[in-house]
Amino acid sequence: MTEYILSINFYLYVPLVILALAAQVLILKKLVFAWYDPLFTYLVFNSFSIAFVIYLFFDNQIYFVYLITFILSNIFFLAGLILGYRKISSGRKNFFEPIIQENEEQETNYIFVFKKYSKQLNIILYISVFILVVANTILFFQYGSVPLFSENAEVAKVEFRTNGFGFIYRINDALLPGAIGIILIKIINPKIKIGKYQYLVLIFCLLILIFLALSGGSKGAILLIINLIFYIYLINKQFDTKYSNKINFYISLLFILGISVVLFIFWRASIAVQYLNLFEALLVRLVGSGDVFYYFYTYDLLNLFDYNPIDYLINSINPLLSLLRLSEYSTALGERIISESIGLTTGGFGANPQHPIEGLIYFGFAGSWIYSLTIGYIVSVMRTRLLLFVLKKPHQLNLLLYMICAYQVLKLPVDSSLFLESLYSTVIIGTPIFMYVQLFFASKSTSVNQAGK
């Protein structure tokens, strides 16, 4: 596919990308809350996919029926986003209309409620940081390096998940968002002030977590942090519509860091793959965000996938059963697409199937648009309705759960299996830590009560 991307007529392709992005942003202008909104990030990459599929059709590479199905799936996905938002925002003039009006009694109550679970989350944070540091140190000593500084980070990050070390990837996937989320909730808030000592400790922990996230060689690591900060922005704006300068400062720093890391990864990759320069490596990656459509549509693979809605349910449960070692991992949809198209065995990894392909494979031409509509609706509800529900009792645990759910749900339109794997990992690994801390505080409270008697 790399050779095909480099042969594209970009005088035609680039305007298609711009038009696709402009159309999506115009349609969803009420739902995209900031330039660093993860939904906007999704729309940017989706624009490259849309332009790529349209280009493939004009280049006589795919059938018209695939183009129509793809376009309808995207239209109904956007419709799902709009329907979810409209139902949620009824009765409110603006999504950022303050939930709590400015008066002393309500603000005092908010501060009191917010501090609930604060100590418990501190301990959860320190336990999570300890587990992450130990797990990744074992991994780094095993391989003698980290993926980020390997000759080709894209290849190394896959190799680091094999040979029995895949569980460390699960630990990172489960604990990093929560640990970073706890820190951000505490250090970026318009109402709550923390001491200098605690602030320094939290910043130190944050730097460790950022290093661990980046060291995995994934360009999505910076997006993880930016996305979580966005949800802090979304939370805080519900209480103080003027509070954004501090968040914009953090985002600017992370954006610069993110661009630097991405360029570093592509520079290393371009050295490893000698026939690509830095610009070409970046170009292949951007256009390649729609690689699944190239492999599935151009090789006309639909007839090879004899799946139905029951298979969708079975494959949705498989990541949980496999994680618990109750069954073998089923072949990922993206891996099978790569295998069927070019005969390459990827060892468990492949292209992200994305909702137009998943809907077509599991639900057919007639049901694919319903699937995309449902996915869009779920994403919209998790981003907004869940937040408004959580803000009825805005203690730190509720806000953390919202951030994790809202962050994870944007994986759903890209790869439902990836979303479910992350969800299962978070629940299975995170729940014991949370329960241990709750039992610890419960026993401590009981001891204090008995001593008082």
Residue type, 279: F
Closest CA to 297 of 111, 87, 118, 54: 54
Does residue 172 sit within a domain? yes
In which band, very low, low, confident or very high, does the pLDDT at 222 lie, cut at 50, 70 and 90? confident
The answer on pLDDT for 46 being more than 70 is: yes
Residue type, 346: T
Tell me what the mean pLDDT of segment 376-396 comes to: 89
The answer on pLDDT for 152 being more than 70 is: no
Does residue 6 sit within a domain? no
Of 132-136, 214-218, 362-366, the one with minimum mean pLDDT is 214-218
Whole-Å CA distances, 392 to 113, 168, 233, 286: 10, 36, 17, 40
Does residue 41 sit within a domain? no
In which band, very low, low, confident or very high, does the pLDDT at 101 lie, cut at 50, 70 and 90? low
Rg of the chain over Cα atoms, rounded to whole angstroms, equals 23
Pick 277 or 439 by higher pLDDT.
439
The winner for highest mean pLDDT among 92-106, 141-155, 347-361, 406-420 is 406-420
Whole-Å CA distances, 353 to 349, 358, 401: 11, 6, 27
Pick 81 or 385 by higher pLDDT.
81
**pLDDT the model gives residue 374:** 96
Does residue 244 sit within a domain? yes
Pick 109 or 295 by higher pLDDT.
295
Tell me what the mean pLDDT of segment 120-126 comes to: 93
Tell me what the mean pLDDT of segment 174-199 comes to: 87
From the number of C-beta atoms within 10 Å of its C-beta (0-12, 13-18, 19+), residue 271 rates as middle
Closest CA to 208 of 200, 220, 197, 218: 200
Interatomic CA distance for residues 421 and 46, integer angstroms? 22
Does residue 77 sit within a domain? no
Which positions ≥6 away from 71 have C-beta within 8 Å?
none
The answer on pLDDT for 3 being more than 70 is: yes
pLDDT per position as a tens digit, 49-74: 999 999 999 999 999 999 999 999 99
Interatomic CA distance for residues 323 and 150, integer angstroms? 28
99 neighbors 388 (Cβ within 8 angstroms): yes
What total number of domains does the chain contain? Answer: 1
Pick 15 or 113 by higher pLDDT.
15
Interatomic CA distance for residues 36 and 58, integer angstroms? 33
Interatomic CA distance for residues 105 and 199, integer angstroms? 27
Interatomic CA distance for residues 123 and 115, integer angstroms? 14
In which band, very low, low, confident or very high, does the pLDDT at 195 lie, cut at 50, 70 and 90? confident
Tell me what the mean pLDDT of segment 304-310 comes to: 91
Distance of CA 271 to the CA centre of its chain: 29
Structure tokens at 179: 């640990």
* Domain hosting residue 214, numbered range: 101-372+386-452
In which band, very low, low, confident or very high, does the pLDDT at 109 lie, cut at 50, 70 and 90? low
**pLDDT the model gives residue 279:** 67
The answer on pLDDT for 186 being more than 80 is: yes
Interatomic CA distance for residues 285 and 157, integer angstroms? 16
